[in-house]
Chains A and B, each alone.
Chain A
Amino acid sequence: MPSVVREMPLFASLTMLHVTNHWQMRACDGLRVVLQHREMREIESMRARTGPMRGPGIADLASEASNWAEEYLASETHVQEIGPGGDWTKEFLEQQHGLTSPDIIPDSDTRWAHEYLSETLLDEAASAEASKWVEEYNPQEDSELARTANELLGTVDDPKFSNTEFMSFIKILGEGAKTDTNKDWSEEFLTSNSKEAGSLAESWSAEFIKERRQPHERWGEEFAKQLGSLDNMTIDSETMSTKEKEDFWQNLQDEWEKMAREDELTEHPWLSEFNSTAFEPFKNYQFEEDNPLKDHPDPLSEGKRCLEAGDLPSAVLLFEAAAQQSPENAEAWLLLGVTHAENEQDPSAISALRRCVEIDPNNSVAWMALATSYTNESYQTLACNSLKEWIRVNPEYNHSLPINDEAIHRKPRLMATTLAPRELIQEVQDLYIAAANQRPGENIDADVQCGLGVLFNLTGEYEKAIDCFNASLSVRPKDAKLWNKLGATLANSERSEEAIDAYRNALEISPGFIRCRYNLGISCINLGAHREAMEHFLEALNMQAAGRGPGGKESSRAVSDNIWTTLKICLSSLNARHLMDAVDKRDLKRLNAEYEVTSSS
């Protein structure tokens, strides 16, 4: 069993990195180089290149999904059962190639693996050879090694580290075992290394000097690139190109079908849920790649017109154009967010609305909309805090907020949780109840009632929520969004028939309200009316598809994955397996024909 000088995990050297800034990559590369062994070097150079691989992996997430897809497809074909030794190695290595980018793995990788495996089967070499290695290791000759070890020592200012035994160990490598006064060290060096010494020292230093430059430079470049692109990091299915998205969907649907066929539901949805994308915290808003309406002369007004007319997908594109043309225009972001929510796209809504309150923290409409979207996505704490902000920016009610209460929107990430602490919900509820009581009798503040209704939804007190929304509607009977909220609350409290009435009211007022139509479909499912549900889903999807703008190109962003997902579930309840691939291909035409739905062009 060869005892190798192991390359230390990167993160340990990362510890040192906290101490210095621009030395970072040099130091960590130096440490890796210091400790590398000849056999490890091939892995090392591969890792140095896969190191930079990580950079783009984080920053350039368009490829994330396709990498995953490839990986999945590649490993799918390699069944992980036991096989005879030789074949297994080959399979495994092929699989390894699938794991990282093909252009990065050097041929030497295969060689190394074989070498390593054959080495592990050798008997231990005599320790006499070990001492040869140490003797031949002369820091003066291998000045590069000593230099890098000392470089690392130089980067460490923190006395806490420089006084550790570990750093002494690094010093040894920098100065040579013989000069060190700690006898234990030299002894261990002598006795523990069983590698054949002569060839080691020569070829090792030669190759190492040759190899050293390349990974180092790459690291520098890639690191700088990574730093520059950190602002734009995204992992979002919506930013993938169409092809990548198709691949991704194909794999997802395959897996889904496999599971649907198994007809097995575990109690733990997240365990069986096949989700391949890495989840990212809320990211910056991602605009549609090819927005045909990007250069519209007055996108804001036109967008409002579309919204009025019920053409949500076009409105989205127009508001995006408006936001791109004038990025500091809070109204554009507000409308963009609100429209996304109506279009059943809460994540996008949240991104846009967050941008809006960044520009205009006093925008109460935005805060209320955020609260709703957060609630839908189960971010209870964020929802509560948004509601709190609504109160704060409302001059009529904000006196009830304690003076030293910190503005939460400055630290959004910390407050994201599925379960808000009981105290927080209670606190915000009290605020809203106090606000409601401020206005006597019939003079109801619809927004306060709405906020209260959202809060009661969070805690599952649906009866109270229904009262609130009813109160709100008494003041604003023509507000389709309120009807939708009422409907959703009724549905959540198992009163689906009444929910449907509420939804119909909403849709009468606002026929283009896609989210509402989707909700209607869900309530139909709850009542067992699957066929009718299908019609509603298809209508919603048709509307989304119709939002193309003059260019005629389909906007992939406007299409809501939620709806397709639910539609698929509905189909399986209808035992319409023959239509599954129509769903995979998102073949609306065929589905429309099947369910006799006329597409609204």
Chain B
Amino acid sequence: MSDDNVRILRTPGHHGYGVKFSPFNPNLVAVATGQNFGLLGRGKLILSDLCLPDDGVVSSCEWSDALFDLTWSEQSPNNIVTASGDGTLHLWDTANPQAPLMVYQEHLKEVYSVDWSQTQDYQVFVSASWDTTLKLWDPNRSRSLMTMTGHEALVYQAVWSPHLSGCIASVAGDGILRIWNTKKNSQPSITIRVCEGEVLSCDWCKYNENVIATASTDANIYGWDLRQPTLPIFILFGHEYPVRRVKFSPFIETQLASASYDFTTRVWDHTAPSPCLEVMKNHTEFVYGLDLSNHKEGVMADCAWDQTVAIYHPGKPHLTPHEALQ
């Protein structure tokens, strides 16, 4: 099912949970994986260079439990932090993958999400765990700086705002989106009930600091304006099963991408009369990870439980023949 404009990288024996482009090098992409769908077994962080042929693997770092997420350091081009099923986080130097530089061990359950601060003044990262807490870490210290409590269920994702220093959004199985101001205190500033089910992902708009999108198990993507959070400002329908990831475009203010349990990745423009711009069906299992390149407009990567990572540029005439554009 590979095509000219879709590049497939294989991660044999490992099921991808998260994929991220490097903020420094446009050709580098890293994938966090686990064996056996991340349910049992080991985990591996795989670094690939798209300039290399085939799977392009440059190095891989192994851990004794599945890796659920990763984030690139915004300070050092070779550093990546991964989040693991045994509750630990690790800082890796991809040039020396034998063992992590640091292990951060405090969470009591699986760490499902990790994100490095997006405002340059503040070199910290946040972790979100199934133990219902978020923790703030200075990469140089093995003890967390702050623990944020408030969610009543598994926290699925935590994301820094790219505009407001110290501001984090998190979503959890209690159906709630919380906004935290880490510079004030460890209590949430805003709480929004998104839906009846669980909220699996959220992402900030890169151009409007008040807008945030959430993806949930009711298969919808809701957009929120935090100045008036009582009702969503847009709802994107289309996915047939829960939406696992949502990400705003770094280039176009109103565009976002989403990955879902219906095996598809979609691109949307929430102001368009027919918001779903593309439906990409590059996978045969749940699509779990998604990222949009900051360097090359329109380039995306997604990883799935079919042991592959797909890199592509939607909008170009490349879709597999039987797939109709919605």
Chain A residues within 8 Å of B, Cβ to Cβ: 1-6, 8-12, 14-15, 18, 35, 43, 50, 53-54, 57-58, 68, 71-72, 75-76, 80-82, 88, 92, 95-96, 99-100, 113, 116-117, 120, 124, 160, 164-166, 169, 184-185, 188-189, 192-194, 230, 235, 268-282, 377-379, 413-414, 416-419, 421
Give the most central of B85, B176, B217: most A CB within 10 Å: B217
Structural contact, A417 and B306, CB atoms closer than 8 A: no
Interface string of B134-167 (1 = CB under 8 A from A): 0000000001111111101110100000001001
Which of B2-10, B25-33, B48-56, B189-197 contacts its partner? Answer: B189-197
5 tightest A-B CB contacts, nearest first: A416-B231, A192-B41, A278-B193, A417-B233, A1-B64
Structural contact, A54 and B174, CB atoms closer than 8 A: yes
Q: How far is the CB of B211 from chain A (nearest CB, A)?
A: 10
* A276–B193 CA distance with the chains assembled, in angstroms: 11
Interface string of B108-145 (1 = CB under 8 A from A): 11100000000000000000001110000000000111
Chain A residue nearest in CB terms to B180: A271
Q: How far is the CB of B298 from chain A (nearest CB, A)?
A: 25
Question: Could you list 14 A-B pairs, sorted by A, with CB under 8 Å?
Answer: A1-B64, A10-B198, A14-B217, A35-B39, A68-B191, A80-B186, A99-B132, A189-B40, A278-B192, A279-B191, A279-B192, A279-B230, A282-B230, A377-B228
Also in contact, A270 and B227, with CB within 8 A (given A35-B39, A71-B149, A99-B149): yes
Q: How far is the CB of A41 from chain B (nearest CB, A)?
A: 14
Q: Which residues of A contact B225 (CB under 8 A)?
A: 417-419
Structural contact, A50 and B230, CB atoms closer than 8 A: no
Task: Tell which of B66, B144, B230, B284 touches A280, judged by Cβ atoms closer than 8 Å.
Answer: B230
Task: Tell which of A12, A75, A82, A185 touches B149, judged by Cβ atoms closer than 8 Å.
Answer: A75
How many cross-chain pairs have Cβ atoms below 8 Å apart between A and B? 203
Structural contact, A184 and B241, CB atoms closer than 8 A: no
Q: Which residues of B contact A75 (CB under 8 A)?
A: 149-150, 186-187
Structural contact, A414 and B110, CB atoms closer than 8 A: no
Structural contact, A282 and B144, CB atoms closer than 8 A: no
Task: Tell which of A53, A54, A92, A164 touches B284, judged by Cβ atoms closer than 8 Å.
Answer: A164
* A575–B262 CA distance with the chains assembled, in angstroms: 59
Structural contact, B108 and A92, CB atoms closer than 8 A: yes
Q: Is residue B23 contacting chain A, with contact meaning CB distance below 8 A?
A: no
Q: Is residue B250 contacting chain A, with contact meaning CB distance below 8 A?
A: no
Chain A residue nearest in CB terms to B40: A5
Q: Which residues of A contact B305 (CB under 8 A)?
A: 164-166
Chain A residue nearest in CB terms to B234: A417
Structural contact, B261 and A113, CB atoms closer than 8 A: no
Structural contact, A3 and B42, CB atoms closer than 8 A: yes
Structural contact, B87 and A120, CB atoms closer than 8 A: yes
Q: A11-B197, A82-B143, A273-B189 are in contact. List 19 more A-B contacts (CB 8 A).
A: A3-B42, A14-B197, A14-B198, A43-B109, A54-B173, A57-B152, A80-B146, A88-B106, A164-B286, A166-B37, A188-B13, A188-B41, A230-B196, A270-B190, A271-B179, A413-B231, A414-B235, A419-B225, A419-B233
Also in contact, A280 and B193, with CB within 8 A (given A6-B40, A18-B241, A270-B226): yes
Also in contact, A99 and B152, with CB within 8 A (given A188-B41, A421-B271): yes
Q: How far is the CB of A343 from chain B (nearest CB, A)?
A: 20
Chain A residue nearest in CB terms to B147: A80
Chain B residues within 8 Å of A, Cβ to Cβ: 13, 35-42, 64-66, 85-88, 105-106, 108-110, 130-132, 143-150, 152-154, 156, 164, 167, 173-176, 179, 181, 184, 186-187, 189-193, 196-198, 200, 209-210, 217, 219, 225-235, 240-242, 261-263, 271, 284-286, 305-306
* A193–B181 CA distance with the chains assembled, in angstroms: 41
Structural contact, A272 and B176, CB atoms closer than 8 A: no
Structural contact, B65 and A3, CB atoms closer than 8 A: yes
Structural contact, A116 and B184, CB atoms closer than 8 A: no
Chain B residue nearest in CB terms to A414: B235
Q: How far is the CB of B146 from chain A (nearest CB, A)?
A: 5
Q: How far is the CB of B259 from chain A (nearest CB, A)?
A: 13
Also in contact, A4 and B40, with CB within 8 A (given A10-B173, A10-B198): yes
* A281–B220 CA distance with the chains assembled, in angstroms: 15
Structural contact, B150 and A54, CB atoms closer than 8 A: no
Task: Tell which of B37, B108, B191, B229 touches A169, judged by Cβ atoms closer than 8 Å.
Answer: B37
Q: How far is the CB of B275 from chain A (nearest CB, A)?
A: 12
Q: How far is the CB of B190 from chain A (nearest CB, A)?
A: 6
* A14–B181 CA distance with the chains assembled, in angstroms: 32
* A4–B65 CA distance with the chains assembled, in angstroms: 8
* A280–B286 CA distance with the chains assembled, in angstroms: 30
* A379–B231 CA distance with the chains assembled, in angstroms: 9
Q: How far is the CB of B241 from chain A (nearest CB, A)?
A: 5
Also in contact, A120 and B86, with CB within 8 A (given A160-B263, A275-B191): yes
Task: Tell which of B87, B110, B148, B189 touches A275, judged by Cβ atoms closer than 8 Å.
Answer: B189
Task: Tell which of B40, B130, B131, B210 touches A193, judged by Cβ atoms closer than 8 Å.
Answer: B40
Structural contact, A272 and B186, CB atoms closer than 8 A: no
Q: Which residues of A contact B181 (CB under 8 A)?
A: 271-272
Structural contact, B164 and A271, CB atoms closer than 8 A: yes
Q: Which residues of A contact B153 (CB under 8 A)?
A: 50, 54
Q: How far is the CB of A375 from chain B (nearest CB, A)?
A: 12
Q: How far is the CB of B239 from chain A (nearest CB, A)?
A: 11
* A96–B88 CA distance with the chains assembled, in angstroms: 19
Structural contact, A71 and B150, CB atoms closer than 8 A: yes
Structural contact, A188 and B35, CB atoms closer than 8 A: yes
Give the most central of A71, A184, A268, A281: most B CB within 10 Å: A268
* A68–B193 CA distance with the chains assembled, in angstroms: 14
* A120–B86 CA distance with the chains assembled, in angstroms: 8
Structural contact, B189 and A8, CB atoms closer than 8 A: no
Q: How far is the CB of B165 from chain A (nearest CB, A)?
A: 10
* A287–B89 CA distance with the chains assembled, in angstroms: 50
Structural contact, B191 and A276, CB atoms closer than 8 A: yes
* A285–B88 CA distance with the chains assembled, in angstroms: 47
Structural contact, A166 and B40, CB atoms closer than 8 A: no
* A418–B228 CA distance with the chains assembled, in angstroms: 7
Q: How far is the CB of A418 from chain B (nearest CB, A)?
A: 4
Q: How far is the CB of B200 from chain A (nearest CB, A)?
A: 6
Q: Which residues of B contact A35 (CB under 8 A)?
A: 39
Structural contact, A11 and B109, CB atoms closer than 8 A: no
Q: How far is the CB of A180 from chain B (nearest CB, A)?
A: 13
Structural contact, B36 and A188, CB atoms closer than 8 A: yes
Structural contact, B231 and A281, CB atoms closer than 8 A: yes
* A281–B88 CA distance with the chains assembled, in angstroms: 37
